[in-house]
Chain A
Amino acid sequence: MLARHLVRRLAQAVVVVLGVVVVSFLVARAVPGDAAVSATGARASASELAAARERLGLDQPLPVQLFRYLGDLVRGDLGTSLHTRQPVASDLGSALPASLELVGAAMLLAVLLGIPLGILAARFRGGRAGGVDVSVRVGSVLAVSAPVFLLALVLQLVFATRLGWFPTAGEYDRALDTTSPLSVWTDITVVDALITGNGAMLASVLHHLVLPALALAAYPTGVIAQMTRAALLEEAAQDHARMERALGFGRLAVLVRFSLRAASAPVLQLVALVFAYALVNSFLVESIFNWPGLGSYTATAISSVDTPAIAGVTLTVALVYVVLNLAVDLAQTALDPRVRLT
């Protein structure tokens, strides 16, 4: 039973990944004008163009091109960026760690804020303290309705430009590159600073992380709070909750000690999903804070119509999403035997 479930999930994931590859192939081939012209420059002669066309495989039928693209992908070749003139794969490799750092920080904030808020709202639903529930509800809908770029601009204006509490832009103080340079292990600056005990660098990165992570955390926090509340209330309506109340457990204890575990499955799945959304939303935040991640890279790629780079980003983020979803699904299967039956 379990093996069959695993095989089925993996097969589904493979189909999805193939679809994702086709879409990114179409994007990569949709170079404005002519890819051969972009590759050789506007002043190339006709024979140079023909050579480039042959080299790029543009003279082949589309299915053959797709097959070649697939082969390139397997070898880790995502093509060459029209803007940076570097292989897209290495561009992405240097941009992704900073994005994961930012999105990771935002998701951590969102989980630490969203789950307790959801518990509070569920605990104080209706009744005399119903104001808590209403506040969480209004707050979370506000958080999911706010355009993330507006939040980023306002946070930057108020807390960086006006109050000067936080730096306006960048990932860390560049002066530290000379005074306390970081030895690179994982490429994720905050992790490297932590494991190498580079206190100055760690403090600087965390300081720079606060505002962009807050802007990015709003949406996930709202969604997680709402989902936690809804899942808890569904659990609280079950017979076991009444039993636990009858045994003398308080309302909050029933929610936290018993219902939260059962409610954790949908919340966990949501966290994985929202992670991918936050990664895309970071496209809207990073350029405002000049964060050297995937978002800034994508923004540049868009403005310079760098289709191979856009295709690479699409593929990478979609893969992150598929892998996360699969991981959560498998984790749930391991934790909750009921899932296997469906």
Chain B
Amino acid sequence: MSIHPSPVTSAAPAAPVPPASRVPGAGSLASRLGRLVGRDRLAAASAVVLVVIVLLAVLAPWVAPFPGDGTTATHPADRLLAPGAAHWFGTDQVGRDVLSRVLYGARTSLGIAVAVLAISAVVGVTLGVVAGFAGGWLRDVIMRVTDVFLAFPALLLSLALAAILRPSVETTIIAIAATWWPWYARLSASVAQSVRTRPYVDAARCLGVSPARIVWRHVLPNSLTPVLVQLSLDAGGVILTAASLSYLGLGATEPTSEWGLMVQSGQSLFTTHWWVSAFPGLAILVTAFCFNMLGEGLRDLLDPRAAGGRS
């Protein structure tokens, strides 16, 4: 049994998902989301908060009170002002508005999460489907390689990779994606493997359908639901890992607004000027929490077998 590095998934046995894991009569995606709201208020509320966070991130240049503070602006006269009417979250060591930087930081964090998950899912699912569907030595090679990658805690391998490359947002993305894809490979390999032995695949093969078409028509659609659930569960973990890397000085660099970096730069002032670190830290917490809650809700809804019987 494999266990995932992202916070919440680790709690769920990553059971091979049965192919055609669709709930009978589950209806359209919209109606399922409707049921999510009805059944799981916490997940629904998290989804709403996430929509707000995404909107704020996208609109940061327009909604941030001091858009210039997101990057290079400095205001030496306004150094370390406590939260107040002009600066809701206070200002940092060089007088930048912390609220504006937190909003711009959302762009960085969400951007990293999207990039990492897109790369991981594409690479992982491709390799996983090949491994699970082809079988034989190809499967062994791919799965042993994923084993090696899974032998590192995600943050450790990212840390090692980021140490080789120069610290930047791109480095963060590469370093985390390199540690994240094996989970998708493993997940889709197990789906592909179980689909491969299904009678309808045998039937398709007998009819002379090409392997590529079988993968496209049967294997990928069956992988979609578990991968989707995994993506929403992982987003929080990726954001935490990215923040940890830049906190350690291996990720985004000044003057980029990045939450982990902001916590780090305000750390030595924490006892006297708590707001410099506290607000970006809370932003990480809230965003990761919402992704994890939503991911759990989606898992319970779309993938009942892995839900551990949550009612």
Contact = CB atoms under 8 A, between A and B. Distances in A.
Contact of B263 (A23, A147, A322): A147
Contacts of A179: none
B247 A310 contact: no
Contact of A145 (B264, B278, B288): B288
A16 B263 CA distance: 35
B163 A310 contact: yes
A321 B310 CA distance: 31
Interface in B232-270: 236, 240, 243-244, 247-250, 260, 263-264, 267, 270
Nearest to B163: A310
A315 to B, nearest CB: 9
A182 interface: no
Contact of A273 (B3, B145, B308): B3
A125 B309 CA distance: 10
Interface string B271-311: 10010011001101100110011001000000000001111
A234 interface: yes
Interface residues of B, number: 56
A219 B289 CA distance: 12
Contacts of B95: none
Nearest to B281: A150
B11 A227 contact: yes
A38 to B, nearest CB: 14
Contacts, number: 186
Contacts of A146: 285, 288
Contact of A231 (B13, B161, B240): B13
B244 A20 contact: no
Counting chain A residues whose Cβ lies within 8 A of the other chain, the interface size class is 35 or more
Contacts of B11: 140, 222-223, 225-227, 229-230
A202 interface: no
Interface stretch (B148-156, B193-201, B215-223): B148-156
Contacts of B289: 141-142, 145
A15 B151 CA distance: 11
A161 B282 CA distance: 20
A19 B153 contact: no
B309 A307 contact: no
A302 B159 contact: yes
B281 A153 contact: yes
Given A144-B292, A145-B236, A269 B281 contact: no
Please report whether the interface of chain B is mostly helix, strand, loop or mixed according to DSSP: helix
B82 interface: no
Given A157-B271, A234-B309, A144 B8 contact: yes
A147 B308 contact: no
A310 B159 contact: yes
B18 interface: no
A149 B10 CA distance: 21
Contact of B240 (A126, A145, A161, A266): A145
Pick from B164, B289, B293, B296 the residue with the most CB of A within 10 Å: B164
A20 B151 contact: yes
Contacts of B278: 150, 154
Interface in A148-188: 148-150, 153-154, 156-157, 161
Contacts of B310: 125, 230, 233
6 contacts: A145-B289, A150-B282, A236-B309, A270-B10, A283-B159, A302-B250
Interface of A: 12, 15-16, 19-20, 23-24, 26-27, 30, 125-126, 134, 137-138, 140-142, 144-150, 153-154, 156-157, 161, 219, 222-223, 225-227, 229-231, 233-234, 236-237, 266, 269-270, 273-274, 276-277, 279-281, 283-284, 288, 298-299, 302-303, 305, 307, 310-311, 313-314, 317-318, 321-322, 325
Given A229-B308, A302-B159, 14 more contacts: A12-B147, A26-B164, A125-B311, A150-B284, A153-B267, A157-B270, A230-B309, A277-B153, A280-B156, A302-B248, A310-B163, A314-B152, A317-B152, A321-B153
Lowest 10 CB-CB distances: which A-B pairs, in order? A230-B308, A19-B148, A226-B11, A144-B7, A150-B281, A145-B288, A30-B164, A145-B289, A233-B309, A314-B160
Interface of B: 1, 3, 5, 7-8, 10-13, 42, 144-145, 147-149, 151-153, 155-157, 159-161, 163-164, 236, 240, 243-244, 247-250, 260, 263-264, 267, 270-271, 274, 277-278, 281-282, 284-285, 288-289, 292-293, 296, 308-311
